[in-house]
């Protein structure tokens, strides 16, 4: 389906993602319509292809973002069991998917975009502030951007009054190819919780696959290979 969902506008792009079955849930469609990709992609924002955003990073193709959302949706939306979903977006880059997550987690939810390059952390936040809705979500504390090593995850304290929901993550999305499923990420995944992560299939880094990793209420972990991909690598932070 790659390259087939391009449109001449954000609405046209989302309509094509819906028609081709990349988006299947009305709530997801609504979130994608709220977040205009032109605020995040430097050129041809409605083309269904990845684009460079500098610093050896890319904004993924829209169909990949749609796939990521659809595969973690069961743990992303507020529910009686998890009224304040917490999402960690590792390698948040342009900030596009961070914003879409924030539209879906509800008023009490939290999305943290984690970048190891300070300029990209700043880019993600600046892009999100290009729209009134994005600025509101940042000002309300539903979304934030931080700098750190994504392979180590991120320890975000529970907000006052919500300590009972813990400090782990209902959803972890990784937007760069990891050499392995790093132990800190798995440890920080809530039970129940879900992770979407591209992983190198061999030592060369040329073969990669996306894995959906689920942790159930008892902490049992299951892994499902979804499809092959080509992502930029999850690498060491730059030396300053």
Domain membership of residue 87 (yes or no) is yes
Which residue reads 């299947």 in tokens?
A: 24
Record the pTM.
0.92
Domain membership of residue 121 (yes or no) is yes
Q: What are the tens digits of pLDDT across the range 177-215?
A: 777 888 999 999 999 999 998 887 765 556 788 889 999
Residue 60 among the catalytic residues? yes
Which residue out of 49, 60, 92, 135 is catalytically annotated?
60
Q: Rounded to an integer, what distance in angstroms lies between the CA atom of residue 240 and that of residue 228?
A: 34
Q: What are the tens digits of pLDDT across the range 3-45?
A: 589 999 999 999 999 999 999 999 999 999 999 999 999 999 9
Domain membership of residue 161 (yes or no) is yes
Domain membership of residue 41 (yes or no) is no
Domain membership of residue 4 (yes or no) is no
Domain membership of residue 59 (yes or no) is no
Q: Could you tell me the CATH number of the domain that includes residue 118? A: 3.40.50.150
Q: Rounded to an integer, what distance in angstroms lies between the CA atom of residue 149 and that of residue 213?
A: 20
Number of domains in the chain: 1
Domain membership of residue 22 (yes or no) is no
Residues spanned by the domain of 92: 65-229
Q: What are the tens digits of pLDDT across the range 79-104?
A: 998 999 999 999 999 999 999 999 99
Domain membership of residue 25 (yes or no) is no
- Cβ-defined contacts of 235-238 (< 8 Å, 24+): 235/116, 235/176, 236/116, 236/149, 237/116, 237/117, 237/149, 238/116, 238/117
């Amino acid at each position: 389906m790659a390259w087939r969902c391009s449109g001449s506008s954000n609405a046209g792009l989302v309509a094509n993602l819906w028609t081709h079955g990349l988006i299947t849930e009305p709530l997801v469609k609504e979130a994608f319509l709220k977040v205009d990709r032109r605020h995040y992609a430097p050129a041809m924002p409605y083309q269904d292809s990845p684009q460079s955003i500098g610093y050896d990073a890319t904004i993924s193709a829209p169909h990949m973002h749609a796939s990521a959302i659809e595969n973690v949706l069961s743990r992303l939306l507020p529910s009686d069991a998890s009224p304040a979903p917490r999402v960690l977006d590792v390698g948040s880059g342009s900030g596009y998917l961070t914003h879409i997550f924030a539209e879906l987690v509800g008023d009490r939810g939290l999305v943290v975009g984690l970048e190891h390059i300070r300029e990209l952390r700043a880019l993600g936040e600046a892009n999100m502030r290009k729209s009134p809705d994005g600025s509101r979500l940042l000002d309300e504390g539903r979304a934030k951007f931080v700098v750190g090593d994504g392979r180590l995850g991120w320890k975000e304290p529970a907000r006052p009054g919500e300590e009972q929901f813990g400090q782990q993550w209902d959803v972890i999305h990784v937007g760069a190819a990891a050499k392995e499923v790093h132990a800190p990420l798995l440890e920080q995944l809530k039970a129940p919780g879900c992770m979407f992560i591209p992983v190198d299939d061999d030592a060369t880094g040329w073969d990669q696959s996306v894995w959906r990793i689920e942790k159930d209420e008892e902490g049992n972990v299951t892994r499902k290979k979804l499809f092959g991909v080509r992502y930029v690598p999850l690498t060491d932070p730059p030396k300053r």
